[in-house]
């Protein structure tokens, strides 16, 4: 569906612009009609959930590298967390540095969520940018 304008008479004009509204953290975001996942929001916004995942990934990697644990299973047991969750968070360490930086700065695409970040993603940094909604 594309934009259209119709004159209704008596000085009334109806303008139809397709868009998608997405809820995120209790806020409503308007997604663009051209399907490029751009979100209309003017200022940078740090997403605390994304920041928390970045911090955990970094912290847990440092713990694992400096520890006597032979596997992530042992580390998960020590941290008393689900092994699958630990592995998904640890994978975030493989995200491109510029993507991590944009999350820290709050300039990441508004469609990038923790759920999306913890799903399997491409290893190549160039592919990650498109995968996570960054303009390439």
Q: Quick one: average pLDDT of 78-99?
A: 96
pLDDT in tens, 105-135: 999 988 899 999 999 999 999 999 999 988 7
Identify which of 21, 37, 19 has the alpha carbon closest to the alpha carbon of residue 29.
21
| Sequence-ordered list of residues with C-beta below 8 angstroms from that of 24, at least 6 positions apart, any chain | 110, 113
Distance (Å, whole) CA 87 – CA 54: 13
Mutual angle of helices 48-66 and 72-79, in 10-degree steps: 120
Domain ranges in the chain are: 1-42, 43-136
pLDDT in tens, 40-84: 554 678 899 999 999 999 999 999 999 888 899 999 999 999 999
The answer, yes or no, to whether residue 25 has pLDDT greater than 90, is no
Q: Which residue has the higher pLDDT, 114 or 22?
A: 114
């Amino acid at each position: 569906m594309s934009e259209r304008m119709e004159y209704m008479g008596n000085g009334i004009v109806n303008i139809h612009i397709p868009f998608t509204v997405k809820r995120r953290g209790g806020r409503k975001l308007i997604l663009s009609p051209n399907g490029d996942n751009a979100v209309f929001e003017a200022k940078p916004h740090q997403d605390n959930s994304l920041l928390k995942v970045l911090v955990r990934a970094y912290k847990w990697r440092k713990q694992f590298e400096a520890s006597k644990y032979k596997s992530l299973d042992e580390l998960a047991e020590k941290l008393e967390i689900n092994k699958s969750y630990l592995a998904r968070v640890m994978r975030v360490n493989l995200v491109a540095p510029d993507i991590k930086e944009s999350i820290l700065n709050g300039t990441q695409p508004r469609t990038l969520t923790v759920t999306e970040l913890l799903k399997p993603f491409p290893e190549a940094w160039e592919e990650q940018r498109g995968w996570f909604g960054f303009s390439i």
